[in-house]
């Protein structure tokens, strides 16, 4: 089968349906491809092999029925009608011979010996002349007629005069085959003024099995069609013979001389059916692109980016100033080979559109900005004010405003450095002060916490509904979403995972091997949990069973279900995003712990990466470690998750502060709702953490918590304070004190003074009990909603505290949103 797209082998000739143009298209078609698909160039007939993976066909399930059907395992219409009348299984029916199989033979010559004319049909088995003699003149049976010695064989009438037909003419008067003669009689009866020559030029051929006739089409159109079919095969697109028949018939009726200027959308209004429009669109696109080069695209206002190695188009028509349009075109031509990735075309298009906003601003001048030498700093300021106005009125976001200003300044500066201000260049005469200053670029807005990571309760509900993905999309989407949740990779990195993406580290633990296409860093490794690794192994077995003959190095872990006969194409990021949206929208309402309904628009594939990163940041993973896990270039990109963490931690501390106690169990900050920034900063430098709370004793604080005058008898010191988040530690401390007292009381091998020094005092035990009781009572006096908020805040504070205290860590923590999966 064809592998890879065909490249141009020679410059395209001048446009126009010339013979040289047709031969140029034939030169793009591989001879082995013509043999592969069964195309006879002399006859202009396509007879695709039944076993061809993209052009193949199936016949009726009945053993001796050769009628071609639309898909494998079907009955033809005649056999299906008999099957419904028979009271037997499909398998038994398929073994029954057809009673009318004789009628399904291809057209043969008249049974009169040496007669060269075709028979009318199988039951009559004679040409029209001999049939007239047998039935109307002699009025004898066929067997008696064939035994007569006075029969005269007749010479051939030549081929049917219908341009697309491959049969022999059977009717002397019309010089067409018998089948077309029946059509002609009907059409002339309906339209006495029928143009016979046009009718013969536009008639469809008589179907013969799965063959497709290209006869009656100009040589250029035939070459373009075959070239387009070659490109569809290279792209893995299924092309059925009945769609090709519909397409060639439509082209004959329209008397098309070339495919280059056909608009597939307009073709629908001219009689082509919706399903045939798909092959027409891809074939005409391939034909048009075959003639394109970067040189042919450059003068246009709309570029097809495929000739630059990207997808989509770029439209420069939004830039009206000739000098600016030429400058932006130079920049696009300069930048196109330097960018990569599936979104490179979209990024180029966005930046060109950003310059369109500068063009719009310049059009407000009296000279419409057409004279670069007349521009100055005030025009830049007008543009900046326009951007500010658009943001203030809600037409663009702060992020978009900054992006447009940055792009504009960058491109102008870049083009200056490439010499476009020299004489003869488009920017010649542009003043130096027509440029962006450092202060013109707005401060980068911090990303909103909302809409980035997903709350734990949302993730738990989503993971519980993962099985519903396959109800509306292919299994690969479910596997892809699970891997996004478990690994935190970018969607395109998951989609493009190779088949052999599972490896082992030095300790024999599983790692994911992926390619960071955004930064062009191949074969990155990420530690995996065994459950995630088993998910990948299961998918590998499924893919291998589905594509047993494709080498593993060419397979994808998540093969696309579209145009992918060998499993070498991965599911696209857009398909995964679309299936995610379909799945999420079909779910019942997703509620938070407080009962509010969560906005489903915030659930999208990249949100799983944010959730992964935020979960690790909240767990106290060091920023440098998390940066490596996310494969970021710099720590600055990773620190954003820690800023979100700080906001959440502050909110949690503010809530916990409302339940703060001194050593006697008395509430402090009873009226506080949130700590002031000054108080927060004072406490951060004027206190140190101790076992059950905070210490503000100056000597101990100065020593970093290592010089307590009371030898850490915190509950007997006025400098000690605690809050509800330390309640588990205080309870554990009470249990330890009671156990120590019992153990020392029973000990007989120690001196009394040593036991007395080590024995916990009753005062300390009472103080601890009273503190626990006061904290518990105040917590119990809260409403259910307030208690829920405090418990959530305590969990946040304690989780952060564990990270800061350097507790032992394990490899990448398994998400607690999926407790049903083993670690």
Is the pLDDT assigned to residue 810 strictly greater than 50? Answer: no
Please state, in angstroms and rounded to a whole number, the distance separating the CA atoms of residues 512 and 494: 10
Is the pLDDT assigned to residue 532 strictly greater than 60? Answer: yes
- How many CA atoms are closer than 13 Å to the CA of 444, on its beta-carbon side? 6
157: nearest Cα among 104, 110, 217, 90: 110
Rounded average pLDDT over 378-392: 96
* 537 Cβ contact list (under 8 Å, min separation 6): 502
- Residue 635 CB neighbour total at 10 angstroms: 12
Rounded average pLDDT over 693-698: 80
Report the pLDDT value the prediction gives residue 793, as an integer from 0 to 100: 76
On whether the CB atoms of residues 531 and 822 are closer than 8 A, the answer is yes
Rounded average pLDDT over 256-272: 86
Q: Which of 204-208, 483-487, 570-574, 810-814 is predicted with the least confidence, judged by mean pLDDT?
A: 810-814
Report the pLDDT value the prediction gives residue 12, as an integer from 0 to 100: 56
Sign of CA dihedral 249, 254, 257, 260: negative
Strand pairing class (39-40; 688-690): unpaired
Our CA angle for 598, 603, 605, nearest 5°, is 165
Q: Which residue has the higher pLDDT, 176 or 103?
A: 176
Report the pLDDT value the prediction gives residue 800, as an integer from 0 to 100: 59
Report the pLDDT value the prediction gives residue 763, as an integer from 0 to 100: 86
Sign of CA dihedral 244, 246, 250, 252: positive
812: nearest Cα among 485, 388, 581: 485
Per the prediction, the chain carries an average pLDDT of 85
Rounded average pLDDT over 38-52: 94
Helix (H) or strand (E) holding 51: none
Instruction: Dump pLDDT digits (tens) for 501-529.
Output: 999 988 889 999 999 988 888 999 999 99
Please state, in angstroms and rounded to a whole number, the distance separating the CA atoms of residues 40 and 222: 11
Token pair of 694, please?
């905070």
300: nearest Cα among 279, 321, 316: 316
Rounded average pLDDT over 722-741: 84
Going by pLDDT thresholds of 50, 70 and 90, the confidence category of residue 641 is confident
Q: Which of 69-78, 466-475, 531-540 is predicted with the least confidence, judged by mean pLDDT?
A: 69-78
Q: Which residue has the higher pLDDT, 813 or 773?
A: 773
Is the pLDDT assigned to residue 236 strictly greater than 60? Answer: yes
Q: Give me the domains of the chain, ranges plus CATH numbers.
A: 19-57+210-290 (no CATH), 107-202 (no CATH), 299-440 (no CATH), 456-645 (1.10.443.10), 658-781 (no CATH)
Please state, in angstroms and rounded to a whole number, the distance separating the CA atoms of residues 333 and 309: 12
* 11 Cβ contact list (under 8 Å, min separation 6): 293
Token pair of 160, please?
């049917």
Going by pLDDT thresholds of 50, 70 and 90, the confidence category of residue 1 is very low
- How many CA atoms are closer than 13 Å to the CA of 610, on its beta-carbon side? 18
Is the pLDDT assigned to residue 332 strictly greater than 80? Answer: yes
Q: Which of 265-274, 442-451, 789-798 is predicted with the least confidence, judged by mean pLDDT?
A: 442-451
Report the pLDDT value the prediction gives residue 517, as an integer from 0 to 100: 84
Percent of the chain residues past pLDDT 90, beyond the cut: 56
Going by pLDDT thresholds of 50, 70 and 90, the confidence category of residue 333 is very high
Report the pLDDT value the prediction gives residue 805, as an integer from 0 to 100: 36
Give burial (CB, 10 Å; 0-12/13-18/19+) of 198: exposed
On whether the CB atoms of residues 775 and 641 are closer than 8 A, the answer is no
Sign of CA dihedral 368, 371, 372, 373: negative
DSSP bridge pairs for 693: 690
On whether the CB atoms of residues 199 and 238 are closer than 8 A, the answer is no
3-state secondary structure 241-301: HHHHHHHHHHHHHHCCCCCCCCCHHHHHHCCCCHHHHHHHHHHHHHHHHHCCCHHHHCCCC
Q: Which residue has the higher pLDDT, 747 or 281?
A: 281
Report the pLDDT value the prediction gives residue 747, as an integer from 0 to 100: 84
Token pair of 370, please?
């057409």
Rounded average pLDDT over 303-310: 94
Is the pLDDT assigned to residue 449 strictly greater than 50? Answer: no
Strand pairing class (660-662; 521-527): unpaired
Phi first, then psi: give them for residue 46, nearest 5 degrees: -105, 120
On whether the CB atoms of residues 472 and 586 are closer than 8 A, the answer is yes
Report the pLDDT value the prediction gives residue 91, as an integer from 0 to 100: 84
Instruction: Dump pLDDT digits (tens) for 190-233.
Output: 999 999 999 999 999 998 889 999 999 999 999 999 999 999 99
For the ranges 93-102, 380-389, 434-443, the one whose mean pLDDT is highest: 380-389
Going by pLDDT thresholds of 50, 70 and 90, the confidence category of residue 448 is low
On whether the CB atoms of residues 800 and 620 are closer than 8 A, the answer is yes
Per DSSP, the three-state class of 540 is helix
Residues present in the chain in total: 823
Rounded average pLDDT over 600-611: 93
Q: Which residue has the higher pLDDT, 299 or 648?
A: 299
If you search the block for the tokens 């350097």, which residue do you land on? Answer: 806
Q: Which of 45-59, 553-567, 795-809 is predicted with the least confidence, judged by mean pLDDT?
A: 795-809
Token pair of 359, please?
């063009």
637: nearest Cα among 647, 623, 648: 623
Going by pLDDT thresholds of 50, 70 and 90, the confidence category of residue 10 is very low
Rounded average pLDDT over 447-460: 74
Going by pLDDT thresholds of 50, 70 and 90, the confidence category of residue 413 is very high
Rounded average pLDDT over 718-722: 81
Q: Which residue has the higher pLDDT, 341 or 33?
A: 33
On whether the CB atoms of residues 52 and 233 are closer than 8 A, the answer is no
Is the pLDDT assigned to residue 398 strictly greater than 50? Answer: yes
* 436 Cβ contact list (under 8 Å, min separation 6): 380, 405, 408, 409, 412, 413
235: nearest Cα among 568, 664, 8: 568
Report the pLDDT value the prediction gives residue 315, as an integer from 0 to 100: 97
Rounded average pLDDT over 282-305: 94
Per DSSP, the three-state class of 378 is helix
Token pair of 91, please?
């398998």
Report the pLDDT value the prediction gives residue 366, as an integer from 0 to 100: 95
Report the pLDDT value the prediction gives residue 4, as an integer from 0 to 100: 37
Report the pLDDT value the prediction gives residue 813, as an integer from 0 to 100: 45
* 795 Cβ contact list (under 8 Å, min separation 6): none
Going by pLDDT thresholds of 50, 70 and 90, the confidence category of residue 648 is low
Please state, in angstroms and rounded to a whole number, the distance separating the CA atoms of residues 75 and 62: 7
Give burial (CB, 10 Å; 0-12/13-18/19+) of 538: exposed
Going by pLDDT thresholds of 50, 70 and 90, the confidence category of residue 783 is confident
Count of H-run helices and E-run strands, the chain: 31, 15
Report the pLDDT value the prediction gives residue 695, as an integer from 0 to 100: 82
Going by pLDDT thresholds of 50, 70 and 90, the confidence category of residue 645 is low
On whether the CB atoms of residues 453 and 613 are closer than 8 A, the answer is yes
Rounded average pLDDT over 678-685: 47
Our CA angle for 798, 804, 808, nearest 5°, is 90
Instruction: Dump pLDDT digits (tens) for 134-186.
Output: 999 999 999 999 999 999 999 999 999 999 999 999 999 999 999 999 999 99
Percent of the chain residues past pLDDT 70, beyond the cut: 86
Report the pLDDT value the prediction gives residue 665, as an integer from 0 to 100: 59
Going by pLDDT thresholds of 50, 70 and 90, the confidence category of residue 3 is very low
Token pair of 818, please?
């999926």
Helix (H) or strand (E) holding 668: strand 667-668
The torsion angle over the Cα atoms of residues 296, 298, 300 and 301, rounded to 10 degrees, is: 160
Report the pLDDT value the prediction gives residue 689, as an integer from 0 to 100: 75
Is the pLDDT assigned to residue 66 strictly greater than 50? Answer: yes
Per DSSP, the three-state class of 651 is helix
Is the pLDDT assigned to residue 264 strictly greater than 80? Answer: yes
Is the pLDDT assigned to residue 670 strictly greater than 50? Answer: no
Please state, in angstroms and rounded to a whole number, the distance separating the CA atoms of residues 263 and 106: 38
- How many CA atoms are closer than 13 Å to the CA of 440, on its beta-carbon side? 24
Is the pLDDT assigned to residue 804 strictly greater than 50? Answer: no
Please state, in angstroms and rounded to a whole number, the distance separating the CA atoms of residues 458 and 811: 24
On whether the CB atoms of residues 136 and 173 are closer than 8 A, the answer is no
| DSSP string for 114-136 | T--SBPS-TTT-S-HHHHHIIII
| DSSP string for 707-749 | --TTSS-GGG-TTEEEEGGGHHHHHHHHHHHHHHHHHHHH--S
């Amino acid at each position: 089968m064809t592998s890879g797209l065909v490249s141009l082998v020679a410059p395209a000739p001048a446009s126009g349906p010339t013979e040289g143009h047709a031969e140029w298209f034939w030169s793009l078609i591989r001879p082995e491809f013509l043999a592969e698909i069964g195309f006879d160039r002399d006859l202009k007939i396509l007879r695709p092999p039944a076993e061809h993976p993209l052009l193949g066909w199936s016949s009726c399930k009945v053993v001796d029925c050769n009628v071609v059907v639309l898909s494998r395992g079907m009955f033809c219409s005649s056999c299906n009608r008999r099957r419904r009348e028979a009271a037997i299984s499909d398998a038994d029916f398929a073994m029954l011979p057809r009673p009318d199989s004789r009628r399904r033979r291809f057209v043969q010559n008249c049974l009169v010996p040496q007669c060269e004319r075709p028979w009318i049909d199988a039951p009559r088995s004679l040409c029209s002349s001999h049939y007239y003699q047998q039935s109307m003149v002699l009025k004898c049976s066929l067997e008696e007629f064939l035994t007569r010695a006075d029969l005269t064989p007749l010479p051939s009438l030549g081929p049917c005069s219908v341009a697309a037909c491959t049969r022999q003419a059977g009717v002397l008067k019309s010089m067409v085959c018998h089948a077309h003669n029946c059509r002609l009689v009907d059409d002339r009866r309906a339209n006495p003024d029928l143009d016979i020559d046009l009718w013969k030029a536009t008639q469809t051929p008589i179907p013969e099995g799965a063959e497709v006739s290209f006869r009656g089409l100009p040589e250029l159109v035939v070459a373009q069609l075959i070239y387009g079919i070659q490109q569809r095969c290279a792209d893995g697109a299924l092309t059925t013979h009945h769609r090709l028949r519909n397409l060639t018939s439509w082209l004959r009726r329209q008397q098309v001389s070339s495919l280059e200027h056909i608009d597939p959308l307009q073709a629908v209004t001219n009689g082509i059916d919706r399903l045939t429009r798909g092959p027409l669109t891809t074939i005409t696109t391939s034909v048009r692109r075959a003639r394109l080069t970067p040189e042919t695209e450059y003068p246009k206002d709309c570029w097809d980016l495929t000739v630059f190695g990207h997808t989509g188009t770029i439209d420069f028509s939004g830039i009206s100033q000739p000098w600016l349009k030429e400058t932006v075109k130079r920049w696009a031509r300069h930048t196109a080979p330097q960018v990569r990735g599936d979104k490179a075309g979209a990024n180029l298009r966005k930046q060109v559109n950003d310059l369109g906003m500068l063009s719009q601003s310049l059009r407000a001048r009296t000279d419409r900005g057409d004279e670069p030498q007349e521009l100055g700093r005030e025009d830049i300021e007008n543009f900046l004010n326009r951007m500010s106005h658009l943001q203030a009125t809600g037409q663009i976001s702060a992020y978009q405003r900054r992006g447009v200003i940055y792009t504009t300044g960058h491109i102008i500066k870049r083009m200056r450095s490439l010499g476009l201000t020299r004489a003869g260049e488009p920017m010649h005469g542009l003043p130096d002060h027509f440029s962006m200053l450092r202060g013109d670029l707005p401060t980068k807005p911090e990303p909103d916490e909302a809409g980035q990571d997903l709350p734990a309760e949302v993730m738990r509900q989503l993971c519980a509904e993962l099985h519903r993905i396959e109800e509306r999309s292919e299994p690969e989407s479910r596997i892809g979403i699970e891997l996004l949740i478990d690994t935190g990779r970018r969607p395109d990195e998951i989609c493009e995972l190779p088949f052999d993406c599972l490896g082992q580290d030095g300790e024999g633990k599983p790692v994911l091997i992926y390619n960071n296409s955004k930064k062009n860093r191949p074969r990155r490794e990420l530690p995996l949990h065994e459950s995630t690794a088993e998910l990948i192994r299961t998918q590998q077995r499924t893919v291998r069973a589905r594509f047993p003959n494709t080498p593993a190095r060419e397979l994808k872990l998540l093969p696309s279900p579209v145009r992918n006969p060998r499993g070498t194409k991965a599911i696209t990021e857009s398909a995964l995003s679309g299936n995610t949206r379909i799945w999420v929208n079909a779910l019942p309402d997703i509620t938070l712990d407080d009962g509010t309904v969560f906005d489903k628009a915030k659930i999208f594939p990249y949100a799983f990466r944010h959730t992964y990163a935020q979960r690790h940041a909240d767990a106290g993973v060091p920023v440098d470690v998390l940066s490596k896990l996310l494969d970021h270039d710099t720590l600055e990109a990773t620190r954003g998750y820690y800023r979100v963490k700080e906001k959440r931690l502050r909110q949690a501390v503010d809530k916990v502060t409302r339940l703060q106690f001194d050593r006697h169990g008395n509430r402090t900050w009873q009226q506080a709702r949130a700590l002031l920034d000054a108080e927060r900063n004072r406490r951060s430098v004027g206190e140190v953490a101790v076992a059950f709370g905070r210490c503000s004793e100056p000597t101990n604080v100065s020593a970093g918590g290592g010089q307590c005058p009371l030898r850490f008898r915190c509950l007997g010191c006025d400098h000690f304070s605690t809050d509800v988040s330390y309640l588990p530690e205080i309870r554990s401390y009470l249990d330890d004190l009671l156990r120590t007292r019992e153990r020392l009381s029973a000990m007989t091998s120690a001196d009394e003074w040593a036991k007395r020094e080590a024995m916990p005092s009753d005062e300390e035990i009472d103080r601890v009990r009273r503190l626990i009781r006061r904290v518990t009572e105040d917590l119990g006096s809260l409403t259910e909603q307030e208690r829920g908020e405090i418990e959530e805040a305590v969990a946040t504070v304690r989780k952060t505290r564990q990270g800061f205290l350097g507790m032992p860590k394990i490899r990448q923590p398994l998400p607690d949103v999926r407790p049903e999966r083993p670690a």
